[in-house]
């Protein structure tokens, strides 16, 4: 299982305006919290979850930690 952060973007569809970050499994468009996200929305590695916590979805954070009891710093799984 690989997790990524996918951005919830501004309702105008501007993909550079990140409202909040959600967690998706692999490249899913549905966040762990159930939110549907845009395919064009920015993606970044889940290891960046702690970088800007003010913009994180709290529900996704809780579910992510349940699925991933450690942050994968030292576990270099192959992407894809």
Q: Which residues bind Zn ion (CB under 5 A)?
A: 22, 31, 33, 57, 60
Q: Which residues contact 49 (CB under 8 A, 6 or more apart)?
A: 5, 21, 23, 56, 61, 64, 71
Task: Give the Cα separation of 14 and 60 in Å (integer).
Answer: 22
Q: What is the nearest approach in angstroms of Zn ion to the Cβ of residue 75?
A: 23
Closer CB to Zn ion, residue 3 or residue 22? 22
Q: What is the nearest approach in angstroms of Zn ion to the Cβ of residue 14?
A: 19
Closer CB to Zn ion, residue 15 or residue 30? 30
| Strand 18-25, strand 43-45: pairing | unpaired
Closer CB to Zn ion, residue 41 or residue 60? 60
């Amino acid at each position: 299982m690989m997790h990524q952060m996918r951005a919830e973007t501004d309702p105008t569809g501007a993909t550079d305006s990140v409202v909040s970050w959600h967690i998706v499994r692999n490249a899913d468009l549905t966040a762990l919290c159930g939110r549907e996200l845009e395919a064009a929305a920015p993606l970044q590695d889940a290891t960046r979850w702690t970088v800007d916590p003010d913009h994180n979805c709290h529900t996704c954070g809780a579910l992510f930690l349940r699925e991933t009891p450690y942050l994968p710093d030292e576990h270099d799984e192959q992407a894809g």
